[in-house]
Chains A and B, each alone.
Chain A
Amino acid sequence: MKEKTTIKDAIDILYRFNWTIKIAKIYESNNLIFLRQIKSLLYLIQKAVEVDGEATFMLRQNTLFFNGIRLKFGFSSYFLLKFIINEFPKREIGILSFKTGLNEEELKNFIILFTKKGSKSKITLEDFLKGVKQYGIKHISIEKISPFDELSNEKKDSAKIFFLSITHLKETFNKQEAKERLPLLTTRRLMQSIFNNITQNESFLYGLTTIKNFDEYTLNHSVNVCVLSISLGKRIGLDRNELIDLGMSAFFHDIGKLEIPKEILLKPGKLDKDERNIIEKHPYYGAEKLIELRELSRLPVRAIHVAMEHHTSDGHSGYPIYTEKKTINLFSKIVKIIDFFDAITTKRPYRKKDFTREEAINMMLEKSGTEFDPLILKVFVDMMGTCPIGTMVLLNSGEIAIVVEINQETVYMLRPKVKLITDEMGNKLDGEIVDLTEMDPKTNKYTRTIVKSLDHDKYDIKASDYFVAQTR
């Protein structure tokens, strides 16, 4: 007899569950493809029930358990776990348990119920349970999510943490200049909060990274780089504590700029050779500053690497050029990608044009393998999507929208979730968020499709406004 269910078994069920839900959204309940998926899912569930007596998913503070086994984010399971962590709270589900005796009909009805769209973005558990009762589903039990898991989903809180991070960096820089002790313990705690918020509101936080504060460029930029680095690190499979180290590293990556005169940093127009030389010293100035802090032991050594290496590709191109060292740190490779992306999508005094997120990604892809690590860049492109969050798009309906959530399936990269900001006549509105994978059942065609991305500047639109507006 088989021993207890393994993590792999749990991931298999999750995978099949996820897939069945997607198919249920497309096909009718009597479609053979759908029924085949139900059969496969039922088989896996029954196997687990046979071994453990039940097949139970439990969501507790953003952590998913299956039959008591904790499922952690890994590179290949990232989207599956994310799916449950997003979908359960929407229906107020905390525990979903499949029991002995579950049959195909019950499972089919449950999946149909699960995919049913409510009038609001959130379906109450009460409504959901009514459906369960109505369908006569007896071998699936559901328990309500803990109020703490619900509360933590507020976008307002994510925005608060985002702005608090900028303030904290400013405070840290001030202390550094005054040669005071840095509050690194608070920084670490802040990173943990950013991590938690990324787990809960990843797309929204990406949206906030479209905030570009010209006056406090380094601060705003550093927080953007920090958020996106944690997110990228999470996708490539770094563990929690590594992600916090990565976040801190990204947070302080530009600390060396404190040593660069403001006249050079903010100089409009091209820098001359001497000025360029000075600005190119900021990586090792930063590294030196961080080295001096190391005694506080709250700063990861990798932060020093990142400060030193975020402008070099392999130590032999970019700056600084290494003499002995042959490689650059993984964290530096991650931050370098994000740093570049955020920098070129921000208006700078010395640059005539800032690039759209879409243009930036295309430009970066051209430098894959030379300037950027090709694998990490690939994951980054997947993460940002072909139409990154914050992109202003024109839909074939004539409506204009802002991308607010990427569709994680690579085949649907051009079909993200968007917030409508005008109607088809161009009248501005506080429109709903629509999923571009939605289809018109009558025509069996997509309801809306992106025609092209639009230039924000041309239409005087700031994508960040639409994200901040959700918190006010």
Chain B
Amino acid sequence: MVLNKLNKNSNNHSHRNNQEKNQNLKVNREKLEIVKEILKLFEKSFAQMKIFSEDHANVIKFTDQLYEKICIFLEKYWKLELGVEEFSFTFSGETVFTDIQIRKSIPFLFHKDGVQILFFYKGLKKEEFLDFLDVIKIASNLPAEESDIVISLWEKDFANIRYFAPDDFLESKIGAGIQQMEYKLDKNKLFTGKIELDPEDQKALKESTLAQKILNDSIEKPGSKPESSGEAEKSSLTDEEERKLEYMILSNRKLSPKKELLSLLVEILYIENRPEEFSKTMDILNQCHMDILKKGDLPGAVQNIKFILELKKSLSSQSDRSAVSINKFLKDIKDENFLSLIEDAFQKGKILEPDALLEYLQILGPEAIPLLSNLYKESKSPDFRIKALSLLKKIGKHDLKTLMNIAQNKHPAITNEIISILEKSQDKNAVQYLSNFISYENKSIKVNAIKALGKFQNNTANKILLAFLSDEEEELRIIAAQNLQYTGDKSIVEHILKVVQNKSFVKKGKKEKTTLLEFLARSQAAEAKTALKKILKKPTIFSHRKNIETSLCSISALKTAGNPEAMKILEEGAKSHNRKVKRACKLALKNSSNRNETERQNSKGEEKSSSTRLQ
């Protein structure tokens, strides 16, 4: 009976055990299947990620599905623990995924760097998971010897994705062929024998009771501290000191490593007196300078060049080879390779401090002119454009040739600025450069060029202006004529006379005719006077309207010239048989005399007021 009962109990027990076992098996089987599905999806997502960018629809679709599946698993089972073997992942001791192609095998990517287990925990965040996938992607894209996925995972320090990679792995990587440092330890000597205290230490021991009493009575009295606030727990720093320390750390984080490196390089250059090493460091500095330009850090670049210029000054008496290196650097930075980096950074909006950019370009000097012009054209900021033009004026005046290279018909603002620089330039080639604008199409450019030429008052400028007299546009021809200055060069007068005496002259517009004749009147050259007189005399009662018009233009020109010679010609003209000419000459003379009187009155008034002030 008892036996039966026992058997029955035992049967019941084993039945229950079997049921539990079966249940466990079922659960495990179910888990295994889900893990297999997760890993398949992992493989698919990874394949997509390798081909497409992270925002590609396929990548988003697969990674979303994968994340969702893992989360469902973690929600139910709290943790996903994957064993990592050379080409496989295992789960609960069973292989759940295998890929033997080294180039794309995910397990191998972890295995090669010593990862043995991967853990995913409940609470896994989407961002964290995507970051994890990114780490794998980056590692898989690098050659095996240049990547270590453990380093990347460690750096990321994911809260819910952990790994187990024992340090044993490092042993296989370190010290091949090197004898390891051997620490000789004699345990026997360590734990046997005796230490005899010397008299001084023995004395101290004897006196220790007293010392202990003092200690116990003062700071260390047991139980005295727990009642305190516990501030002494953390460290002996005061709150203020803690804050200072935190500030130090934050400031250190804000430092730009590149800038810091540059300033360090400069210091090394100050110290280094071995030419070869100096030159090597200069090369690195050159490289770093490129890097900061790429980043658009123009204040850094300015500082760097200033440092180098200072260095150059201080080293001027030292090794020639050092000076050669510095000069090479200063030349290199004006090179197209460097300048294009600035333009690129500017286009990408990386340059946040335009004033530093302009300062940098100013330091570079005329070599920066083409770049400055491009930046001007690309910029949408009116403020920057104004400042760029102003800088162009500053640095352009020293290199008109380079400046001329950036002049363009389609960019009148810059070109006009160039014309204004040429106008003020003392350079003998400036006038010649202005002739380049004859062939331009832009009217404002031509007008400014003509006006600039007019200010030179020399034969070369006049000769260029003569070329403008053949321009297709009447207005430009007029302005050119207005800007002609008689300098005693007869050839100019002759040229204009030819124009005036040409049959086509009468067909020109009134204003153009007047302006050309005005030049003749202003010149007071004998040939010009004769020609003007002839023009006034020519019309009779029956003269052609166009001829009369030319005479009237001549009167207007003489009136504007207003010189005594002109007045004489007008007086003669007042005797003309042609009524219109006669009347116009008289009127011109009258106006001139009135004008003279007004001018005389004005000048008297001015003299009077100035003498009153003096009194």
Contact = CB atoms under 8 A, between A and B. Distances in A.
The judgment on whether A and B are partners is yes
A271 interface: no
Contacts of B57: none
B204 A157 contact: no
A186 B272 contact: no
B227 A33 contact: yes
A426 B265 CA distance: 58
A161 B167 contact: yes
B467 interface: no
Given A148-B117, A426-B196, A378 B237 contact: yes
A430 B191 contact: yes
Contacts of B174: 164, 167-168, 171, 186, 190
Interface in B170-200: 170-171, 173-176, 178, 180-181, 183, 185, 187, 190-198
B501 interface: no
Contact of A288 (B164, B280, B307): B280
A124 interface: no
A465 B248 contact: no
Contact of A451 (B205, B249, B264): B205
Contact of B201 (A189, A394, A446, A461): A394
Interface in B252-274: 252-253, 255, 257-258, 260-261, 263-268, 270-272
Contact of B215 (A414, A466, A469): A414
A62 to B, nearest CB: 10
Contacts of B154: 192, 240
A301 B267 contact: no
Interface in A237-269: 237-238, 240-242, 244
B180 A291 contact: no
Interface string A428-472: 111000000001000011100101101000110100111011001
Interface string A206-229: 000001010010011000000000
Nearest to A315: B267
Contacts of B192: 428
Interface in A1-50: 15, 18-19, 22-23, 26-27, 33
A263 to B, nearest CB: 20
Nearest to B204: A452
A75 B261 contact: no
A185 B180 contact: no
A320 B271 CA distance: 8
Given A167-B178, A459-B195, A324 B226 contact: no
A61 interface: yes
Interface string A308-328: 100000000000101111000
A428 B167 contact: no
A68 interface: yes
Nearest to A398: B205
B162 interface: yes
A40 to B, nearest CB: 11
A22 B228 CA distance: 13
B167 A396 contact: no
A86 B464 CA distance: 92
A296 to B, nearest CB: 9
B457 to A, nearest CB: 51
Contacts of A105: none
B222 A439 contact: yes
Contacts of A236: 245, 249
B472 interface: no
B116 to A, nearest CB: 9
Contacts of A211: 183
Nearest to A326: B263
A278 interface: no
Interface residues of A, number: 113
B366 to A, nearest CB: 28
A325 B267 contact: yes
B242 interface: yes
Contacts of A168: 174-175
Contacts of A363: none
Contact of B242 (A61, A76, A427): A76
A449 B252 CA distance: 42
Given A78-B234, A190-B174, A409-B233, A375 B266 contact: no
Contacts of B191: 428-430
A396 B277 CA distance: 60
A439 B220 CA distance: 12
Contact of B234 (A79, A320, A330): A79
Interface centre among B123, B167, B255 (most CB of A within 10 A): B167
B254 to A, nearest CB: 11
B121 interface: yes
B64 to A, nearest CB: 23
A-side interface mostly: helix
Interface stretch (B206-214, B474-482, B562-570): B206-214
Contacts of B205: 394, 396, 398, 451
Contacts of B266: 323-325
A410 interface: yes
Nearest to A472: B185
B225 interface: yes
B610 to A, nearest CB: 59
Contacts of A171: 174-176, 178
B168 to A, nearest CB: 8
Contact of A411 (B219, B227, B281): B219
A86 B159 CA distance: 20
A19 B175 contact: no
Interface string B146-157: 111011001101
A426 B195 contact: yes
Nearest to B285: A291
Contacts of B246: 75, 237
A174 interface: yes
B382 interface: no
Given A26-B226, A284-B272, A325 B263 contact: yes
Interface in B303-348: 307, 310, 314
Given A291-B281, A394-B197, A472 B187 contact: yes
B208 A164 contact: no
Contacts of A421: 190, 195
Contact of A329 (B146, B147, B260): B260
Interface centre among B170, B261, B277, B284 (most CB of A within 10 A): B170
B252 A330 contact: yes
A400 interface: yes
A449 B208 CA distance: 9
A348 interface: no
B146 to A, nearest CB: 7
B101 interface: no
B235 interface: yes
Contacts of B248: 330, 375
B155 A292 contact: no
A409 B232 contact: yes
Given A75-B242, A445-B216, A160 B171 contact: yes
A270 interface: no
Contact of B310 (A188, A324, A375, A465): A324
B307 to A, nearest CB: 6
Given A15-B230, A396-B205, 16 more contacts: A61-B162, A75-B246, A79-B234, A235-B235, A288-B277, A291-B261, A323-B314, A324-B266, A325-B264, A378-B235, A382-B237, A394-B205, A411-B219, A426-B197, A445-B216, A451-B204
9 contacts: A237-B249, A240-B157, A301-B258, A325-B263, A329-B255, A408-B233, A422-B195, A427-B193, A451-B204
Interface of B: 117, 121, 123, 145-148, 150-151, 154-155, 157, 159, 162, 164, 167, 170-171, 173-176, 178, 180-181, 183, 185, 187, 190-198, 201, 204-205, 208-209, 211-212, 215-216, 219-220, 222-223, 225-227, 230, 232-237, 241-242, 244-246, 248-249, 251-253, 255, 257-258, 260-261, 263-268, 270-272, 277, 280-281, 284, 307, 310, 314
**9 shortest interchain CB distances as A-B pairs:** A301-B257, A167-B175, A330-B252, A451-B208, A396-B208, A323-B270, A430-B191, A168-B174, A426-B195
